[in-house]
Amino acid sequence: MRGSALSGFDGSLEDEILKTVETPIVVLDRNGAVVRFNEASERLTGFAATEILDRKIWEFLILDEEIEAVRTIFEETCGASTPTHFVNYWKTKKGERRLIEWSNQRLNDEEGEVAYILATGIDITESKSREVALSESKAFLRSIIDASPVAVITIDDKGNILTFSHEAEKTFGYEEAELLGSNINALMPEPDRSAHDGYIRGYLETGEHRIIGKARAVKAQRKSGEIFPAILHVTEFADGSRVFVGFVEDVSSQAAIESRLKETQVQLQHAGRVGEMGEMATSIAHELNQPLTASASLAGAAALTLKKVDFSGRDGVIALLDDAVGEIRRASDIIRQMRDFVRKRKTAKSLHDINKVVEEACAIAVIGAEAEGISVKTDFQANAGAAQLDRTQIQQVVTNLVRNAIDAMHNSPKKELTISTERRNGLIEVKVADTGFGIPKELKSRLFEAFVTSKEDGLGVGLSISKSIIDAHRGDLLVADNKPSGCVFIFRLPPEAHDDAEQNP
């Protein structure tokens, strides 16, 4: 069966070489039939050479699904002057599969035509299995990492990023491809960013565990530049080299919750103090009203007595006493309004002319403004109209807005206070404008929240209460900038027919 291409070999030497080689060697004729089948091939497949000589290789050793590919590479090798390489399975006599990596060489006869194909193989079944197992193990490990609810990042002993989990991508805003090979310090704000390489060197030199195996609070930085609080836990393992695994938990939401809880506690404490102040104010108002009432009665009695006596200047003295009685009664009204302000009661709405309500409130609220050097201007439009409202509550709102405006101009170079009313877009609109320094930008969005204030000694409840009052009247309270300086508080109320407005305060 040997062709001329093999005639130059001594048979015994050839057999000894094929026996000695521990890898499978097969010689096929130009039709793919087996000519030689060495002992290594016999051991590998379980077939004896005598069983398969003259049989075509793909008739018994090749898997059905690979026959076409093997025949194609055979034909290719027959026409090639250089070796070809291929990997395919051999089917053993017991039906097992062995994966063989082949190097195939064409052997020519004396005329230069192909006579045989020499195929030398290496059994890579075990190594491929280990490779597949390793790949599967890595894939499994990666799936575990990506399933972690916290960010998982691995780095080498130089601080370069090796893996970056899906949660890490969501937490930091980077794609993994953007960071692989980059230094981990890209995820840190200063001063940790500059110092981190030194931390790693110090650990590698001393072996002292300052971070390894311990959870600690850190600051981390997203791709956007946002710095956020996190909990970091670092472990170490060897994978041919030292690898560090970091578990990073974003705790910004927890920190926000804790901050809100603390703020709520502070608000509750403030609310308790405000409640106590309300009770105290009610008691004080009750106590003050008694001597004020008595004073008004005494001053009135004195005026009546003087009217019975004729002396020079009597009318002037009586007029002064009448004025004193009026001021005492006005003070009593202010105290009554204060008591109503802090006392819980149901809203008592009736129809009122808005101009009259605002004018009465301003008469009290602007007391002391002139002494502050403030110019007070009023502009009450006749068409402003009337509304169903609780007069005392709306006057509380006006008083609070006016007093706030006066306080806002304490150190202002220009001091002008303007209170106006008008009908706009079908609503009654009341404005209180000042020329102070305006409201800080960071407070504008929270201005009507309880206990938010720009005053050093303010409680921050006035605007919150005012907003609640206007809301209860189906109205709206808002703030705007007053050009060129200061701000304007505006509240709007739904109107009612002016003809039915209450004529008396």
Is 221:187 a contact under the CB 8 Å cutoff? yes
What is the predicted pLDDT for the residue at 449? 72
Same topology between domain 255-341 and domain 347-500: no
Assigned fold of 255-341: Helix Hairpins (1.10.287)
Fold (CATH) for 4-123: Beta-Lactamase (3.30.450)
Q: Say which CATH architecture domain 141-250 belongs to.
A: 2-Layer Sandwich (3.30)
Residue 414 DSSP symbol: S
Question: Which pLDDT belongs to residue 308?
Answer: 75
79: its two tokens: 């026409």
E strand intervals along 30-77 = 34-37
Q: DSSP letter for 118, please.
A: E
Out of 6-15, 117-126, 169-178, 386-395, pick the least confident.
Answer: 6-15
pLDDT greater at residue 342 or residue 413:
413
Which token pair is 90? 């051999």
Ordered by start, the domain boundaries in the chain are 4-123, 141-250, 255-341, 347-500
Pair of tokens at residue 145: 């990492």
Return the structure tokens found at 374.
């403030």
Task: Return d(Cα 451, Cα 460) in angstroms, integer.
Answer: 4
Residues in the chain: 505
C-alpha 243/C-alpha 158 separation (Å) is 10
At 498 the pLDDT is 40
Residue 394 neighbours by CB distance under 10 Å: 25
**Cα 32 from Cα 73, distance rounded (Å):** 11
In tens, the pLDDT along 233-286 reads: 888 877 667 888 888 888 887 766 666 656 655 555 555 555 556 566 666 666
Q: Is 387 helix (H, G, I), strand (E, B) or coil?
A: strand
416-424 and 375-380 strand pairing: parallel
Backbone dihedral angles phi then psi of residue 150, each to the nearest 5 degrees: -115, 160
434 phi and psi, to 5 degrees? Answer: -130, 170
pLDDT at 499: 41
Q: What are phi and psi of 141, to 5 degrees?
A: -60, -40
CATH architecture of 347-500: 2-Layer Sandwich (3.30)
The arithmetic mean of pLDDT across residues 83-100, rounded, is 92
d(CA 157, CA 134): 23
Q: What are the φ/ψ torsions at residue 270 (nearest 5 degrees)?
A: -60, -45
Q: pTM to 2 decimals? A: 0.37
Q: Are 365 and 449 in contact (CB under 8 A)?
A: no
Residue 5 has pLDDT above 60, yes or no: no
Q: What is the DSSP string of 72-113?
A: HHHHHHHT-SS-EEEEEEEE-TTS-EEEEEEEEEEEE-TTS-
